[in-house]
Amino acid sequence: MEMLEFSLIHDGRHWIAERESTQAKGETLPELDKNLLAILKNRAPKTNKKQIKVRMTFDNRVIPEWIRQYSNHYFNRIVTLDFS
């Protein structure tokens, strides 16, 4: 199964997943996943894939520098999006 890599941030209101020219937003993680799936389906409408895995790695640059030393990561996730 193919895995796409996205960077993940939170802007104070939205979760945002970005990769190259693709960006999806959602106020909640389920909403983010739904919006990301819609974007990926739109980019490859005739795909024969049933599922795709997406790794979202939190971009620590959005965390204040003074607190980064206390954790090696804030939030990472892997989701499986269903194209059917």
Q: What DSSP designation does 47 have?
A: -
**11-42 pLDDT tens trace:** 989 999 999 999 999 999 999 999 999 999 88
**Residue carrying structure tokens 């199964």:** 1
> What pTM was computed for the model?
0.82
**40-71 pLDDT tens trace:** 988 876 667 788 899 998 887 777 777 767 76
Where b means 16+ CB within 10 Å and e means fewer, 34-49 reads ebbbeebeeeeeeeee
φ, ψ for residue 49, nearest 5 deg: -75, 140
